[in-house]
């Protein structure tokens, strides 16, 4: 779920306090984007769905959340192709994966 090596590298480069501040910003920003992603999917707005999933993917990669980023990548690609079946398969359970990812990230910061 988390790329430990990447996160440790970020800690070494920027320090844990700065990465934690970035994490808190990520939580706020990604919550808004998750809501937007769900709305864009409900509206079948493929262009906006592609954009918001791309943004979530990039931000997740920056926080070393590989599993969540991969799911967002799959939604992004499927939205570009208007592939409802693949989008639905990846949107299903996305909220759970998102919350599990945030919980794992929080646990990582608390385990010091």
**pLDDT computed for residue 1 by the predictor:** 83
CA atoms within 13 A on the CB side of 41: 23
pLDDT tens-place values along the chain, 112 residues long: 899 999 999 999 999 899 999 999 999 999 999 999 999 999 999 999 999 999 999 999 999 999 999 999 999 999 999 999 999 999 999 999 999 999 999 998 888 6
Report DSSP letters for 17-68, one per residue: HHHHHHHHHHHHHHHHHHHHHHHHHHTT-HHHHHHHHHHHHHHHHHTT-HHH
**pLDDT computed for residue 108 by the predictor:** 87
CATH number of 4-110: 1.20.120.160
Domain coordinates in residue numbering, the chain: 4-110
Tokens encoding 94: 């996305």
In angstroms, the CA 69 to CA 1 distance is: 10
């Amino acid at each position: 779920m988390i790329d430990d090596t990447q996160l440790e590298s970020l800690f070494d480069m920027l320090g844990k306090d700065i990465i934690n501040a970035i994490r808190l910003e990520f939580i706020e920003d990604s919550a808004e984007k998750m809501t937007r992603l769900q709305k864009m999917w409900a509206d079948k707005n493929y262009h906006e769905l592609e954009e918001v999933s791309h943004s979530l993917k990039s931000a997740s990669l920056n926080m070393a959340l590989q599993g969540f980023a991969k799911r967002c990548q799959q939604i992004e690609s499927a939205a570009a192709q208007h592939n409802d079946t693949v989008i639905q398969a990846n949107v299903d359970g996305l909220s759970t994966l998102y919350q599990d990812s945030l919980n794992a990230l929080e646990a990582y910061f608390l385990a010091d």
